[in-house]
Structure 1
Amino acid sequence: MAAEKPHFETFMKRFLTLAKYCAIRFADKRRPAMSRDVAIGKHLAMLREQAQLKQNELAKKLEWSAAVLSRVETGERPLTDDELDIILKGIGTPEAARLKEILGRQWQRLPEPALGDTDADLLWEAEEVAEEIHALAEQPDVKQLFERRLVRYEEELRLAAQHVLNKRYSVAFMGTIGVGKSTGICRIEQLELPSAKGMPNAVLETGSGGITICDVHVRKGPGYGLIIEPCTEDEIRHHVTDFANSLLNPAKAGDDDEEEAGSGSPGISREIDRALRSMTGLRRRRSERKPDGTVIPASDDARVLAADHPDAKALSVEILARMELHKRDRRDLWHDASTGKPPLVWLQENFEKINNGRHPEFTVPKRIEVVVPNAILGDDTVTVTLIDSRGIDDLAARADLEQHFDDPHTLVMLCTLFAQAPSTEVRQLLTRAKEAGVRTLATQAAVLALPRTGEALAVKFEGELAQTEEEGYELKADEVRLKLHALNLDHLAIAFFNSATDEPATLRAFIAGRIEALRNSHRAALREIIAGARDLLANYEKAQAEETLRTAAKRLTIWLKDNAELPRAASRRVHDSLLSTTRAAHWKTIYATISRRGGWPNLDYAHQLSHGARRIATHVVENKIEGFKTIATSVLRDDDLADAHDLARQAVRTLEAGFDEIIRNAQLVGESIYADDLREDLEFWRACSAIAGRGYKDRVNEKNQHWFEDERHGEAEARVMELVAQKWSEAVTGVRALLPEG
């Protein structure tokens, strides 16, 4: 038995670690399942603390024992209605008096919000309206036309309420490598350690760029910890293969392009190159001059290994063996006071180890979660995650970046160097988002310029230097708006933050304000739907025979009839985005995606095709939406048609929802239409792999163009246009179903 003890201890340690990981990883999913007694108990404790009453004081006031009150507040002891009344009267605040009313609400149509939700009253208003709408729609004498409007309203209320109910928000920082994203995040969250040089050191590893190996998420948890999502076995194998190829044949392609010093090898980022060397012990050593003047030349263990294994497959196997991946199965790490290290010191040391592949228990990370015990941005009313995205070192047109624009609960912070603001990469991201039909940039995106000391004072207006940094920021903001005007995005929010001199509270307040603006847009959307539903309910009896509705509907119906047909042929091609992105890419990026048959994250063929499909759909339908909104606006401005205003607004929302559905489906078609054929066309990929030397990118693009245009003859465009026409027809039919016939 003694021999089995170490094995048992190891097993138990791993079991407890896994249990803790699962508990943290899925905490947010478990939270809604909290028992009602526990939720009430916690809320009572909060109300007591807000009333500045200690537990013993309230217990004495109630003539209860402190032990009983403690069990109530932990949820161990359920309360009767009379006991709840006694406690609430004892607390004696207006908030306590309202709790009984809140607990008495019966939620039938919408999910019940948590106690203390700041939007609870708005959501209850939506619940009441949804219940009235549902009850009316169920009545047998309701005309079919109004039943359709009622059913549509109920669906709108449900979807809009979900946006308001969801309190989980992300803030995605995007920008070029070295722009200062990591430093800014650490500044606003006080993830810093003192430095002898004056400027504190960030807990997240920083440098001149090319430091962070993957996306880093900073979020609140039960303590200080690190959780990683590992790369898959296939992803690691691809990394290792590229590393091996770079050692054996570092200049396989694009030898006419300038090599950036230290930029790694074909398909290998500096971060991955560094991590693989650390995991395998294949070090690089700089040349060294001894005191006697002799020089020890530089050496590279990896190239020595490659010389002994000249076959790429054999070298890859040797590198994988040295990585000992079977030992790198840990997924989380938590600070323990027994280490004797302050939490931030511990966090900095272990993040650096994992990020650089120097921790023996962790594999190559795909995402690192940095968990801290404090509320992000200091706000406990929402759950915020700060995302430090991988820096843009070649192309901004990446799926991992552009996906954030489609999430209604993500604020996109477009980071740019002050002198370049808004940088080419920022403008490219915004341009592609507009092309892809993103309609929420005004609330979901903001520009963050990150100046260095002295840059703001160097800004000039009519030859005169700015007198203060604030004036420099204002002048630069005018320049940024002027450049964004060409994209019709000069209304975007703009912030400036110098990590060395500006107060972190300034940036923290800006981000919190943008999140609040995003929340307010969700609230406003729900309020508009509630108001429209109430108008319909209030005017229901007279609306059944209301001539006003027919007059307004006639304007809308005429437009819908005239615009029901779409062009049969696309003016753009699905693969246009792929061709333009390939032309702009570095040859190493192209090399990497070819070796993965189009699946390299920095240049993903499927993502580029999906963007191309969305671009076609947006180009075809967006003007139609704007045309319909113009007609609807004329109805809304006509006071004689006031009784039809809610109908016009509902019609616009319905058509916009149809547009969003078209975009989503076009994206799926673009991603999937050639997925199998393209990936399995080994002859095509071998032909691309054989290309090398001058004109590398152009010749790869010729292969791309031939595959899509000569071999497939515009199949993708036909499929996309067919889908768009079908979904547009469904959207138009959905709107017409809401309108009475003239």
Structure 2
Amino acid sequence: MREQAGPLLAEIDRYLKAPLNQDVAARLFENKCGIVKLLSTIDQKHFSAAFIGKIGAGKTSAICKVSDLQYEDSNNEPVEVLKTGAGRTTVCEVAVEYATKYSIKVEPLPEDEVQRVVRNFADFIWAKANKNVADEDEGGNLLSEELTRCIRNMLGLTIEKKKEDGKWRSSDKALEFSMGCQSVAEVNELMFSCLDLESRTETEFWPNLEESKSWQVWLRDNFARINDGKNKVVSIPSRIIIRGPFPLMRGDIVWSIVDTRGIDSYIHREDIRKTLDTEGVFPIICSSFVDAPDADCRSFYELGIQLGLGRRVARDVTLLILDKNESDKVSDIDCDITDLNDRKGIGRSIREEQVVNKISHEYKISPNIITFDSKNDSSSEIWDVLEERRSAYITSKLNELVTLLAASQELLSAEDSKVEAFERDSHTLVSDWRSRADARSPDWAHFGEYIKNVFSATHHRTLAASIDRKGSWYNLNVYEAINQRARSSAVKFCGTEIAELKNSLALLRSKYPEFSNQIDALESKCVTQFDAFSVNVGEIAKEQWIEQVRTFVSIWHSMAAEWGCGAGYKSRVIEHWVVWTESDLSKAIHNALLRRIASAWGRVLAKVQG
């Protein structure tokens, strides 16, 4: 394609040096920029696959199979390098990358978040020692199981089981530790001191020559120690990167694999939104076989549509149904079929058809589906699907490139009078639309109402952890929720404008069929600008809430004070939130946000006009 593009780019440059028409020159310059960008995208050699799914769905096992991070132990039992238990095992996101040598890199949590984790744990232990509170109780542990395990191991305050009088009894070292303290503040201070962060500064590890001979064992042991908080020179990780000469080079393409944090009933996370936003990253949404498509899987498709990414989801996303020896047990299989492989094949076909029908009906997207058994199926099945998705992505970019090349040729080849008439009518069309759109601006209900619903649907422990951090918790980030809500509202708002503009461009296309590719390019440009506006609205809303709401300390303190006050925690929190949402200050913050969004809309109109 570069061979075709090269001469045309040179012709565009010659025209731009001595333009006969400034409007044509402007369009050719835009086309040139688009062509150069698309050529770079088409030549891209590095891609990622991000595995997303609920806790315990089996995505880590699939990743180990795809990355060849499996081996047999001395008893010939299969071992997965990244798997240290059944669900709720990885404390953070894990990436697998290609390198010539094996290593593990750790990106640690910021110190202020480590302090908060320690404080949350200290609060729980103090409450447990003095109020007989369990982990899941209101007033109990705010931390996830994997984070609790990590911090306990780092502090050496684990729960030990001992057999006494023929019965197993648990002994909590953290409880024993707290008994010598006079206050929760003292527990917190001593725990943080014991953590000794000054000595936990190592971030990268390599095997020695002898360890390299059994690199799988070295990777598994060291990954487990880092993930579980048992490495004395490593802080709590926020991301772990496994590097080595894994089978991630497919021809001249280099892949990386990402194991995202398991979805814990809440899909609206920043890392998942960024995965959807980043082209060249191919999401693999995982669902267990029995309930495919599970609730988190459906929520993922819904999120993609809400964010205005329906086309990307349809093109780039793979729905991975993880079969844990279940497909032969589908009830609709004829009982006369006894061959196990036949039953599995039929069972998979039945389940895949059910999933396609459900996703297609609910989200108007035909999903790309593969059913996979991590124990028995070949990793090539997933690699083949990833290559199909990458090929579809590149093909879509090639189609865009062909349109821009043809559009540029149309402008360069047409008679001057015809081009002038086309440009005049194009400007008139856009001006007419702009005058109508200028009278419309976003006027949306207070986003606090949406957050109230989010609070209501969130597990009380996750809600308390978020409130404790003034709304900034990875599994419930209020400001990310606002970003996605505002962006979704903008997507709906722009949908009406796009439909109107497309109708007008259809009339222009019938009048000037010789400029059909340029009209397609103009339509694509407008849609891209609207998409960028929607993304910008999300960022504006998030920024406004961080500046104005996160710093409004009293509302967060009043809600945080409800933790540990008995049953009805969520109801009390929501009461505080509703009162604040209905306050004059809260309404003023929302109205100021709408004014900022209206200004951004005005800039979009001016840009489209230009």
TM-score, normalization by structure 1? 0.75
1:250, 1:641 → 2: CA distance? 76
2:526 paired with 1:652:
no
Report the counterpart of residue 426 of structure 1 in structure 2.
297
Counting only pairs closer than 5 Å after superposition, residues 382-393 of structure 1 correspond to structure 2 as 382-393=253-264
CA contact (8 A) 1:574 1:716 kept: no
Match of 1:182 among 60, 69, 74: 60
Report the counterpart of residue 452 of structure 1 in structure 2.
324
Counting only pairs closer than 5 Å after superposition, residues 1-20 of structure 1 correspond to structure 2 as none
Amino acid of the residue matched to residue 541 of structure 2? G
2:203 paired with 1:331:
yes
Residue by residue, what CA displacement relative to the aligned partner does 1:589-644 show, whole Å, maximum 9, x if unpaired?
111111111111111121111112112211211232133234434655x4x63212
Q: Give 1:185 deviation, angstroms.
A: 0.6
TM-score, normalization by structure 2? 0.91
Greater alpha carbon shift after TM alignment, 230-239 vs 692-701:
692-701
Q: Over the residues paired in the alignment, what is the CA RMSD in angstroms?
A: 2.9
Greater alpha carbon shift after TM alignment, 664-673 vs 159-168:
159-168
Alpha-carbon spacing, 1:556–1:597, altered in 2? closer, same or farther (3 Å): closer
Amino acid of the residue matched to residue 14 of structure 2? A
Match of 2:97 among 215, 219, 224: 219
2:592, 2:527 → 1: CA distance? 22
Amino acid of the residue matched to residue 536 of structure 1? L
Q: Give 1:221 deviation, angstroms.
A: 0.9
Amino acid of the residue matched to residue 613 of structure 1? A
Residue by residue, what CA displacement relative to the aligned partner does 1:510-552 show, whole Å, maximum 9, x if unpaired?
122212222322232223222222222222645434x566667
Residue by residue, what CA displacement relative to the aligned partner does 1:697-723 show, whole Å, maximum 9, x if unpaired?
232223223323324354455445444
1:488, 1:198 → 2: CA distance? 45
- SS of the aligned residue for 2:439 comes to coil
1:460, 1:471 → 2: CA distance? 9
Residue by residue, what CA displacement relative to the aligned partner does 1:319-364 show, whole Å, maximum 9, x if unpaired?
1222222111111111222337411111111111111111122111
Alpha-carbon spacing, 1:356–1:596, altered in 2? closer, same or farther (3 Å): same
CA contact (8 A) 1:549 1:641 kept: no
1:264, 1:525 → 2: CA distance? 56
2:404 paired with 1:533:
no
Match of 1:617 among 459, 482, 490: 490
Aligned pair count reads 603
Alpha-carbon spacing, 1:260–1:591, altered in 2? closer, same or farther (3 Å): closer
Report the counterpart of residue 8 of structure 2 in structure 1.
129
CA contact (8 A) 1:597 1:685 kept: yes
2:288, 2:336 → 1: CA distance? 22
CA contact (8 A) 2:315 2:393 kept: yes
Report the counterpart of residue 74 of structure 1 in structure 2.
none
CA contact (8 A) 1:482 1:490 kept: no
Q: Give 1:125 deviation, angstroms.
A: 4.1
CA contact (8 A) 1:597 1:679 kept: yes
2:233 paired with 1:361:
yes
1:340, 1:442 → 2: CA distance? 42
Residue by residue, what CA displacement relative to the aligned partner does 1:706-742 show, whole Å, maximum 9, x if unpaired?
32332435445544544444444444444444xxxxx
Counting only pairs closer than 5 Å after superposition, residues 296-695 of structure 1 correspond to structure 2 as 297-339=169-211, 341-376=213-248, 378-439=249-310, 440-460=312-332, 467-539=342-414, 541=416, 543-545=418-420, 547=421, 558-567=432-441, 569-570=443-444, 572-633=445-506, 635-636=508-509, 638=510, 641-691=512-562, 692-695=565-568
1:350, 1:701 → 2: CA distance? 44
CA contact (8 A) 2:441 2:601 kept: no
CA contact (8 A) 1:655 1:732 kept: no
1:163, 1:243 → 2: CA distance? 47
2:496, 2:400 → 1: CA distance? 22
Amino acid of the residue matched to residue 208 of structure 1? A
Report the counterpart of residue 231 of structure 1 in structure 2.
109
Amino acid of the residue matched to residue 448 of structure 1? L
2:86, 2:217 → 1: CA distance? 22
Q: Give 1:474 deviation, angstroms.
A: 2.0
Q: Give 1:177 deviation, angstroms.
A: 0.8
Alpha-carbon spacing, 1:544–1:225, altered in 2? closer, same or farther (3 Å): same
Q: Give 1:124 deviation, angstroms.
A: 5.4
2:161 paired with 1:286:
yes
Q: Give the percent of matched residue pairs that are identical in Structure 1 and Structure 2.
A: 22
2:602, 2:402 → 1: CA distance? 29
Alpha-carbon spacing, 1:723–1:165, altered in 2? closer, same or farther (3 Å): farther
Counting only pairs closer than 5 Å after superposition, residues 107-118 of structure 1 correspond to structure 2 as none
CA contact (8 A) 2:288 2:323 kept: yes
Q: Give 1:379 deviation, angstroms.
A: 1.0
Q: Unmatched 5+ residue regions in structure 1?
A: 1-121, 738-742
